Structure 1
Amino acid sequence: MVSDFRKKKLLHVFTAFFDTNANGSIDKKDFELAVERIGKMRGWAPSDAKYKSVEVTLMKIWDGLQSGADADKDGQVTTDEWFAMWDSYPSSASEWQNQYCKFVFDLEDASDDGSIDSEEFSSVYASFGLNKDEAVAAFQKMAKGKSSVSWAEFQELFKEYFSSDDVNAPGNGVFGKTSY
């Protein structure tokens, strides 16, 4: 059973990053809107290779999410289905969850140097409507005093975000918030 604390974190990701049309469930349209939002944020036209790459990746993530979480097969993932899917993570990690982790890291690593710094991190979350100052604080917590976070470190922090009940865990900052 997912704890109340984890549910708060999961709900943050659900509403801020997956349910982009804010209709209370996740469906393919949310992913199409996310592709458009990211393309606009990065200044990519739909014909650009990077735009198309994001589109392909997000559609693979949607397919994996839908097959793993859409218990009633209605083409939508509700919050209850979302919570149930994360219940046994990371022991039951699916390929789409690993792809999503890599996608988030790559999105945040705007300089493509293999690490994320505070400005890259906070800019992404500000573009998704989160408070930039809170995102900076979240980065500082997750980076544990360092100026950047590597891919290897990010993978561990990502797992911690979705699996930990520790309110002080550094991984709780992965999605731009400092408290839940």
Structure 2
Amino acid sequence: MDATHILESASVFVRSKWRKMEAVMGLFNPKLSDFQKRKLLHEFHTFFDVNKDGTLEAKDFELAREKICQMSGWKPGTDKYKKTSELFSQIWRKLQDAGDSNVDGRITVEEWLNMWEIFNKESLQMESKENSDDTKNIPDWLDKYIEYKFALLDRTGDGEIDVEEYEYVISEFGVPSKDARNAFLMFSENHGKKVDIDYFRELCVQFYRSDDPCALGNFINGRLSYTD
């Protein structure tokens, strides 16, 4: 291991220990910052609220399933189509359990943000434990969603996302190709990092939890800034 990797590992270790100490001492605020809210609202409106009616419902996941299957060439009746349908149904049911606080079959923007605030608080409580792992302190539905998103981006199925795959898929969600490429360069550290499932999960957890505007996970959705 070279000096750069040693320093990087040491830095990660120190940050992890400091976060745990903050959690134990109650210094870390579980409330979502404005920056975190902007990220999460972007996720809500871009990737979840497919019919753009301002709420999440089962219909959004049906539309998302159709879009993904059409993009991937998976026709009704095929194994890929069936598995995607089952996965989206599971994600919606679990997301509804976590976020639909008034049990009306919809998740509003307010419920969405409240769900993430609860998640943030619970994650901080988990971080107070000595052997806590950030990438494991996530809800089951989110873990399934991250795995689905990785599989969607890894179009060749070789276990690694490359810039061409990333640009193609992300641009289907309205992200300019140039922004997608620049975002990939950021979170892959100029192609220095292999974007496999473990690293992708780490980036996703950063996106959902970090309040640091410089965190590389902020770029996983192709957006370069959340200042507006």
TM over 0.5: yes
Task: With the length of structure 2 as denominator, give the TM-score of the two structures.
Answer: 0.76
What CA distance in whole angstroms lies between the structure 2 residues aligned with 1:52 and 1:135?
A: 30
Q: Partner residue of 1:170? A: 216
The residue type equivalent to 1:172 in the other structure is N
Q: What pairs up with 1:8-87 in 2 under 5 angstroms?
A: 8-87=38-117
Are positions 1:132 and 2:162 aligned together? no
Q: Which letter does structure 2 place at the counterpart of 1:135?
A: A
1:73-121 CA-partner distances (Å, limit 9, x unpaired):
0100111111111113372621001101111111100011111111111
Pair 1:121-2:166 in alignment: yes
RMSD across aligned positions (CA): 1.3
Distance 2:220 2:32 in 1: 19
Q: Secondary structure at the match of 1:26?
A: coil
Gaps of 5+ in 1: none
Instruction: Please report the TM-score for the alignment, with normalisation by the length of structure 1.
Output: 0.96
More deviation, 150-159/90-99: 90-99
Superposed displacement of residue 21, structure 1: 0.3
Cα displacement (A) at 1:45: 1.1
Q: State the AA in 1 paired with 2:169.
A: V
- Corresponding residue for residue 141 of structure 2: 96
Separation in structure 2 between the aligned mates of residue 149 and residue 93 of structure 1, nearest angstrom: 20
Alignment of 1:154-165 (within 5 A): 154-165=200-211
The gaps in structure 2 that reach 5 residues or longer are 1-30, 124-136
CA distance in 1, matches of 2:38, 2:212: 13
SS in 2 for 1:2: coil
Q: Runs of 4+ in structure 1 displaced over 2 angstroms? A: none
Query: What percent identity do the matched residue pairs reach?
Result: 40
Instruction: Tell me how far 1:69 sits from its aligned partner.
Output: 0.4
2: CA distance between counterparts of 1:63 and 1:18? 14
- The residue identity in structure 2 corresponding to 1:171 is G
Residue identity in the other structure for 1:37:
K
Whole-Å Cα distance in 1 between the matches of residues 177 and 58 of structure 2? Answer: 28
- Displacement of 1:150: 1.2
Report the CA distance between 1:63 and its aligned residue. Answer: 0.5
Tell me the distance in 2 between the aligned counterparts of 1:119 and 1:13. 22
* Structure of higher CA gyration radius: 2
Separation in 1, partners of 2:144, 2:95: 11
